[in-house]
Chains A and B, each alone.
Chain A
C-alpha cells in the first residue's frame, strides 16, 4: 500500500477521459452551487445526488461526488464574505475578515483570494495525499480519547486570542456557547439536561442555528437600525487581488495547508475546528494582529485554505482504513460501498485503478474549480451593492431556509432568531461572538472524549499529562490561558473587543 508513480499516471489517464472529465466538471459546478445555496450543505448535496449516480460507472460516480464535496468547500465562503452568512461553522473565521473586506468595497479580492487559497491548499493536500496517505493514516490511529480531549481543550483556549482585550467577555461568550450546546441529551448517559421537561428541547440546539443567528440576523438588525442603503456603497473597480495581496498570503496558504491537512487526518477533527486553528495561528504570527477582524486578507486566506486541506485529508483515513472522519465522508463511504468497493487497506491493492483515478481527478478538479470560480468573482461581489431593502429580507430568507433545513423543524428557526437578538446585544455591549461559536461546535466532542478518557484512566485526570501527544496539547493550552490571564492583569481598561462590531 505505497505510492506508485505508474499507478498515478494510469489514474490520470482514466481521470482525463472525456466522460470522467465531464462528470468532474458537473460535480464541481453542482458543488459550488451547493456551497453558495442556503439549506443544502455538502452532506445533503452528496446524499441527494447519491441515488442519481447509479446510472454512472463507479469511477465516474465517485469522481463526481468527490468534486461536489470539495466544490462545496470552494462555494461555502461566498455567502460568508458577501452577506455575512457562514452557512457552515467552518466559514465563521472567513466571515470575520471577509465581510469586513466586502464592506470596504473589497469583496472581489476577498472572494478571489479565497478561491486561490483553496486551490493552493487543495492541490498541496492532494500531493500529500498521493505521497503520504498510508504513513499519515497510521499516525492518525495513535489518537485516542485523551489526545482528542487535549486537542479540543487547546481549541477552546483559542478563545483567549479571539477575545482580544476582552478576556472576561470572551470567556463569558464561550460559557454561554457551552450552555447552549448542553441543552438536550447528555452524549454519554442520555440524561436530559437543561430541557425543563420539554420534548422540543430534548433534541438540543443545533450549532448552525446559533451561527446563522449570531452572524446573519444580528447583521441585518444592525444594518436596519442604521438605515443603510447597501452593505457597501463603494464602486467596485478591482475584482482581483493585487500581487501584493497574493504575496502577503503566500506563506499563509502554505501554513494553513499544513494545519488543515494534519489535523484533518484525525477522525472528528472537522474543518470547523481546523479553520479556527489556522486563523488563530495567522493572527499570532502576524506583525499586525490588530488588522485581524478589520478586513485582513490573510484572515480570509487562512481559514479557506485550511478548510480545503482538511476536506482532502479526510480521504486518507477513508481510503486507507475505511474510516469516515466527517459526516460528508460517511456519505462518501456509503457511496463507495454502494458500488461494492470496501475502503480499507485492501482498496489500494485490489482496486488501484479506481483509487488512483479518484486521486488524479482531485488535481484536475482543483484546477477546474479555480477556472470556474475566478470569473464568477465579479458576479458574487456585486451582491454587496444591491440596495439593502432588497438584500436584507433576502438574507433573512436564506437564513430561514438554511436553518429550517437542518431538521425541518420551526424550532431551529426560532433558536436562530433568538441568537440573532443575543448576537445584536453582544455586538452592542462589546462581547466577541467567535468564542460562542467555537464553544458550541466543540462542546459535544469535548465532553465525549473527556468521558471516554476518564473511563480508560479509571477516573484519573493524569492521563492527559502522561501521554506525550496529549501532554503537548495540554501544555500549549495552559500556556495560551496563562498568557491571556497575564495580559488581562496588566491592562487596566474597560473590556473592549478588538474586532469592532460596527
Chain B
C-alpha cells in the first residue's frame, strides 16, 4: 500500500504546499508549465533571423511558448475553480524516495563511467551494484550477472557488430 508524502515547496510566501490531491497538484503544475512557457518565449527572442524566409525560425518556438503559457494558466485556473479535490496522488514513501534516488545515482554513474571505463567495465560495475542493491542477499548472482553481461556487451556490440562503443582501457 502506497502512502502519500508531503512535498514542501516555497511558492510566493506559502511555506508549505501539500500536493497530495490532483486538484492542488494541477494548480501548481499549471503555474510551473506557464513559467516554462515564458522561458521558451524569452529564449526564442535570442534566435537570429538569418536570411529571408516565409517561416521565421522564431515562429514555432513562439507558438510553443504561447501554448505552454496559455495551457499552463488554463490548467491552474480550471483546477482552482473546481469544487472536488480529485484522486489522491500516490507519492513514494521514505523508502521509495531513497530507492529511486539510489537507482538514479547508479544509472548516472553508469553513463558517466561509460566513456571513462568503457562499455564492458561500466556495464559490469552498474549491473553488479544495481542488482545487488535491489536484492542484497544475492551478491554472488549480482556479480555473475555483471560479469556475463559485461563480457557479452563487449563481444556482441564491440567485436561482432563493430559498433562504436568505448571499449575502455582494458580492451583498447
Contacts and interface: CB of A to CB of B under 8 A. Distances in A.
Contacts of B131: 389-390, 393
Interface string B54-67: 11010011001101
B82 A493 contact: yes
Interface in A428-448: 428-430, 443, 447
Given A217-B107, A401-B153, A172 B86 contact: no
B54 A459 contact: yes
Interface string B91-123: 110011001100110111011101100000001
Contacts, number: 191
A494 B84 contact: yes
A174 B149 CA distance: 37
Given A225-B100, A404-B114, A496-B22, A193 B91 contact: no
B9 interface: no
A396 B107 contact: yes
A146 B72 CA distance: 31
Contact of B104 (A405, A417, A447): A417
Contacts of B138: 389
B44 A389 contact: no
Contact of B89 (A388, A396, A428, A459): A428
B17 interface: no
B165 interface: yes
A221 interface: yes
Contacts of B167: none
Most chain B beta-carbon neighbours within 10 Å: one of A189, A387, A392, A443: A189
Interface residues of B, number: 74
Contact of A408 (B2, B57, B145, B164): B164
A450 B57 CA distance: 12
B149 A178 contact: no
A178 B67 CA distance: 10
A176 interface: yes
B43 A194 contact: yes
A410 B111 contact: yes
Interface in A38-68: 39-40, 48
Q: Is the interface of B mostly helix, strand, loop or mixed?
A: helix
A451 interface: yes
A191 B57 contact: yes
A34 to B, nearest CB: 10
Interface in A161-197: 168-169, 171-172, 174-176, 178-179, 182, 186, 188-194, 196
B6 interface: no
A387 B165 contact: no
B47 A193 contact: yes
A408 B44 contact: no
A492 to B, nearest CB: 7
Interface of A: 39-40, 48, 168-169, 171-172, 174-176, 178-179, 182, 186, 188-194, 196, 217, 220-221, 224-227, 387-390, 392-394, 396-397, 400-401, 404-405, 408, 410, 413-414, 417, 420-421, 424, 428-430, 443, 447, 450-451, 454-455, 458-459, 492-496, 502
